[in-house]
Amino acid sequence: MSMIGFPLLLIPLAIVNIIAFLMPGVSLGAPIYAVPLSSGTSWSITIGDALIALGMLLLFFEVRKTVRPRGKYLTDHLLSFLVLAGAAAEFVMLPQFGNSTFFLLTVLAFVDFINAIAIRLRLRGVYAAPRAEARSGQPARAESTLTPAPTPQPAPVREAVLDLDHPVDPDRASEESSAAAANTDHVADDQHSEPRV
Distance CA 68, CA 5 (A): 13
Distance CA 76, CA 80 (A): 6
Does 183 fall in a domain?
no
Does 17 fall in a domain?
yes
What pLDDT does residue 164 have?
Answer: 53
Residue 33's SS3 state is: strand
Distance CA 77, CA 113 (A): 7
Model confidence over 22-57: pLDDT tens digits?
998 888 888 999 999 999 899 999 999 999 999 999
Model confidence over 122-133: pLDDT tens digits?
877 666 656 656
Residue 88's domain comprises 10-134
What pLDDT does residue 66 have?
Answer: 75
What pLDDT does residue 117 have?
Answer: 84
Total structural domains within the chain: 1
Task: Please work out, in degrees rounded to the nearest 5, the angle formed at the alpha carbon of residue 34 by the alpha carbons of 28 and 37.
Answer: 130
Nearest to 45 by CA among 28, 57, 32, 36: 32
Length of the chain: 197
Does 187 fall in a domain?
no
Does 103 fall in a domain?
yes
Contacts of 6 (CB under 8 A, 6+ apart): 79
Work out the mean pLDDT of the chain and round it to a whole number: 77
Do 34 and 45 contact (CB within 8 A), yes or no?
yes
Q: How confident is the model at residue 118 (pLDDT cuts 50, 70, 90)?
A: confident
The residues with which 42 forms a beta bridge, in sequence order, are 36
Q: When comparing pLDDT for 141 and 21, which is higher?
A: 21
Once rounded to an integer, what is the mean pLDDT over residues 165-189?
Answer: 59
**For residue 167, pLDDT beyond 70:** no
Element (H or E) spanning 45, and its range? strand 42-46
To the nearest 10 degrees (0 to 180), the angle between helices 47-66 and 10-22 is 150
Does 168 fall in a domain?
no
Does 18 fall in a domain?
yes
Nearest to 104 by CA among 65, 56, 61, 60: 56
Amino acid at 101: T
Q: How confident is the model at residue 20 (pLDDT cuts 50, 70, 90)?
A: very high
Does 188 fall in a domain?
no
To the nearest 10 degrees (0 to 180), the angle between helices 100-136 and 47-66 is 10
Does 82 fall in a domain?
yes
Among positive and negative, which fits the CA dihedral 142, 146, 149, 153? negative
DSSP at 164: G
